[in-house]
Structures are given as C-alpha cells and as structure tokens.
Amino acid sequence: MSDFLFGTAGVPITVENGDTISGIKEISVLGLDAMELEWVHGVRMKPEKCDEFREAGKTHRVSLSAHAPYYINLASLETEKIEASIGRIVKSAVLGERAGATDIVFHPAFLMKRERIEVEKLVFEAYADVIKRYENEGLSVSLRPELTGKESAYGNLEEVIKMSKEFPHTLPCIDWAHLHARTGGAWNSYNEWCTALEMIGDGIGEERGLRRMHIHLSGIEYTPKGERKHLPLKESDLKYRELLRALKQFGCGGRIICESPHAIMHEDALLIKRSYARVRISSRK
C-alpha cells in the first residue's frame, strides 16, 4: 500500500473535451488516485455542478482537491483587491467542500517590492478574515497556502510553515519544484529534502505536517529570480527520485499532484507513482 495518492492538476489531456466529470473518471482508468480541480482562472461553475463532481469522485474513488484562482493577493495595495482575494479563497473553499474536495490550494500574496515582514503583516490581517468567514460557513476543508515559485511572492518554505502554525484549518501545500526554483537551484538533494521535511515536522508537527501532506511536483525551468515555467520531469534537473526517497524515509503521506505541462502531466503523475513504489529506504527513523 502506498502512503500517497497520486494525481494530476486538472483534467488529463486524454479527455478530449476537457470535461471535469470525464476527467475524474479518466483518473481512475489511468490508474491514478487524485485530481485537483483547477479553478485558477476563476470559480464560475454553478454550485449544483459541484454535487456532480462530488458524486463522480465517490463513484470512481478519486480523491479531490481544488486550486483557487491565481488572482489572489492578500497584501494588495488596494483594499478592494484584498477584499476580493478573501472572497475568492472563501468561495473556493465553500464550493470545493461541496464538490468533495478536502484541500484548497491558494497563492497568498505578492511582495511588490516591499519587505517580506511588512507584507506578512498584511497577509495575516487579511487571512484572519478568511478564517473568520470560513468558520461562519462551518467548513471543514484544509486551506493550503502554496510554497510559491518566485522570491517576489510571499510563500517561501518558512512562510507557509508559519501561516500553518499561526492559523487553524491551515496546512502548507509544498511545491517542491517551486522550492528548488525560487532559490535558483538549491534544495535539490536527499539531504536538503530531509532538512525541509524536518523543518515542516518541527514547525507544525509530524501528524499534521508530514502524514497529511499536499504536494505539487513537476519539472521546472528557472532563473536566479525563480520559476520560469514547468517542465516534464525528465527534461528538468529536479532530482525527484531523491525527493521521493526522503518522503518515504520520513514516513510521509497524503497526496502528490503532478503539475508538469498538460501534454505529459498524466504520464509524469504515473512516473511519480511508479517511482515512489520502487523507492527502497533504510529502516525508518
């Protein structure tokens, strides 16, 4: 038995019309276990549609998560945009939960040339509001601030750990390719991955931090400033096999969502699943 579920970010390319329900079915046909609903360009579907997603997930035993819109900036210079960002996260959570998603991923904020600490203060203020509204809605999904791909965005490893420590209902979405890219190529060895996992375990506890992980994984192209674009795993320098070994060594579990380019995403998700199954570890720590 695998400790992880494996899946794609959005409907696999093998579904010609890109329909979500066909996508959920296709995931199980492909031998995968999970799919992230990509609401990255807006959350526009009718709420009733979500009931169909939930039903399809149950029927095909596909575990669902959702990615909130990209247009979120909890530290915007304009109050209306902060307000709209809060609304987008809450709406994604409400509809995500209705669709049977257990985890809602979002990118917290952009620095816009400000100090990280100054931005963090704004993010925390706005995010406190997200939590308040989440609780008023009586939700139970996990909110997942994502480890972002560029230094110019809020959401480095320490920051997503800190958010998860400070706020309830919150756990990080660890995008390992982003971690590698935002540092211009660091974090790419077994020992470094182990250090990151120790930081997560120490920061938010092994149970919440390591046994219920939500992971994004892909190949990546980057500059000294961070992510340029996602790549197929085999065209990238990311040492994903060493990463998988570290995850297994630490007894991690949860979900690994592949975010390689669409044309190859399902194949890379299967590659990750197969590679993980083949990883051998020394006796667990």
Binding site for Zn ion (CB under 5 A): 146
Which is nearer to Zn ion, 175 or 192 (by Cβ)?
Answer: 175
Which is nearer to Zn ion, 33 or 146 (by Cβ)?
Answer: 146
Given the structure tokens 């506890």, which residue do they identify?
205
Q: In the bound complex, what is the minimum distance in angstroms from residue 146's beta carbon to Zn ion?
A: 5
Q: In the bound complex, what is the minimum distance in angstroms from residue 67's beta carbon to Zn ion?
A: 6
In angstroms, rounded to a whole number, what is the distance separating the alpha carbons of residues 56 and 62? 8
Q: In the bound complex, what is the minimum distance in angstroms from residue 136's beta carbon to Zn ion?
A: 26
In single-letter form, the type of residue at position 44 comes to R
User: Measured on CA atoms in the order 81, 87, 88, 89, is the torsion positive or negative?
Assistant: positive
Q: In the bound complex, what is the minimum distance in angstroms from residue 166's beta carbon to Zn ion?
A: 21
Q: 42: how many CB neighbours lie within 10 A of its CB?
A: 13
In angstroms, rounded to a whole number, what is the distance separating the alpha carbons of residues 131 and 137? 10
- The helix/strand/coil state of 229 is strand
For 4, 69, 112, 217, the CA distances from 31, given in Å and listed in that order, are 13, 28, 42, 18
Which is nearer to Zn ion, 6 or 106 (by Cβ)?
Answer: 106
In angstroms, rounded to a whole number, what is the distance separating the alpha carbons of residues 216 and 175? 4
Q: In the bound complex, what is the minimum distance in angstroms from residue 175's beta carbon to Zn ion?
A: 7
In angstroms, rounded to a whole number, what is the distance separating the alpha carbons of residues 53 and 123? 31
Question: Would strands 4-9 and 34-38 be described as parallel, antiparallel, or unpaired?
Answer: parallel
Q: In the bound complex, what is the minimum distance in angstroms from residue 226's beta carbon to Zn ion?
A: 13
Q: In the bound complex, what is the minimum distance in angstroms from residue 280's beta carbon to Zn ion?
A: 31
Residue of closest CB approach to Zn ion: 146
Which is nearer to Zn ion, 66 or 194 (by Cβ)?
Answer: 66
Which is nearer to Zn ion, 194 or 256 (by Cβ)?
Answer: 256
72 exposed, middle or buried (CB, 10 Å; 0-12, 13-18, 19+)? buried
Which is nearer to Zn ion, 175 or 267 (by Cβ)?
Answer: 175
In angstroms, rounded to a whole number, what is the distance separating the alpha carbons of residues 191 and 246? 8
190 exposed, middle or buried (CB, 10 Å; 0-12, 13-18, 19+)? middle
Structure tokens, 6: 């494996």
Q: In the bound complex, what is the minimum distance in angstroms from residue 256's beta carbon to Zn ion?
A: 14
Which is nearer to Zn ion, 227 or 245 (by Cβ)?
Answer: 227
Which is nearer to Zn ion, 119 or 153 (by Cβ)?
Answer: 153
Compute and round to an integer the Cα radius of gyration of the chain: 18
